[in-house]
């Protein structure tokens, strides 16, 4: 097995994409936010699905996904399931062909079967990696996934502080994908702030779930935030 170095990660990494977290948008002016983010280069709509059981919060659902898909069909959905058991809720989201669907394997009775079901439905299956879950324990499942979502905060709420110990997990996943010839995306979700983005990209992140600590901070308009993000990513390239 070849050795994947930090230098090779930086050289061969995928272009970094923006996946705005829609739970952080202004839901009373959602279509306006979608248009601004679409014009600003959003690659995915990140939609958090929380059941109040796996995490102590309730957020968005199937009807919200349908509304977003109808309003802006040119940007695919990036659905993050924070539900337990995954199998009880999965079918509601398989109608969104071409979308990405990530889930927490510890919330599933058979994670391998869930990956297969998502793929068979024409979607891209991903693993969400909680701070308490090691990358090593997930390697067999990562080999069968289309991407990974590395959580750098505890799942459940926006506005949390970064858990610094989670940053090296991004590099661990990038090395695993590289050593196995998998050109898969690594998404990072949690306190994706202007200050933290350089370290996340440096570890190998290729999709940033932007939320209240960057695009939705309300300190600047969304259009200006998108320009700032693109300028930052251009400097890091």
Angstrom distance (rounded) from CA 135 to CA 141? 10
Sign of the four-CA dihedral 204, 155, 193, 161? negative
C-alpha separations of 86 from 21, 112, 115 in Å: 21, 12, 11
* Catalytic choice (12, 110, 189, 234): 189
* Catalytic choice (12, 33, 48, 78): 48
Q: Which two tokens stand for residue 81?
A: 């399931």
Q: Give catalytic status of residue 189 as yes or no.
A: yes
DSSP 32-64: HHHHHHHHTT---EEEEEEBSSSSS-B---HHH
Give φ, ψ of 151 to 5 degrees: -85, 125
- List residues with catalytic annotation: 48, 189
């Amino acid at each position: 097995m070849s050795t994947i170095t930090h230098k090779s990660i930086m050289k061969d990494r995928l272009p970094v994409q923006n996946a705005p977290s829609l739970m952080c948008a202004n839901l009373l002016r959602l279509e306006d936010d979608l248009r601004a983010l679409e014009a600003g280069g959003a690659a995915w709509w990140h939609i958090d699905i929380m059941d109040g059981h796996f995490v102590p919060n309730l957020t968005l659902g199937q009807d919200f996904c349908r509304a977003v898909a109808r309003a802006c069909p040119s940007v695919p959905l990036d659905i993050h399931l924070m539900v337990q058991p995954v199998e009880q809720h999965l079918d509601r989201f398989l109608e969104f062909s071409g979308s990405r669907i990530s889930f927490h394997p510890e919330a599933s009775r058979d994670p391998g079967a869930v990956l297969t079901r998502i793929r068979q439905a024409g979607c891209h299956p991903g693993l969400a990696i909680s701070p308490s879950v090691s990358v090593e324990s997930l390697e067999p499942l990562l080999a069968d996934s289309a991407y990974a979502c590395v959580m750098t905060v505890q799942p459940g709420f926006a506005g949390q502080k970064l858990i610094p110990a989670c940053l090296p997990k991004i590099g661990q996943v990038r090395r695993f994908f590289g050593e196995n010839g998998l050109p898969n995306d690594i998404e990072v979700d949690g306190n994706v702030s202007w200050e933290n983005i350089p370290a996340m990209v440096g570890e190998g992140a290729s999709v940033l779930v932007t939320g209240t600590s960057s695009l939705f901070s309300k300190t600047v308009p969304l259009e200006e935030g998108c320009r700032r993000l693109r300028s930052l990513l251009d400097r890091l390239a």
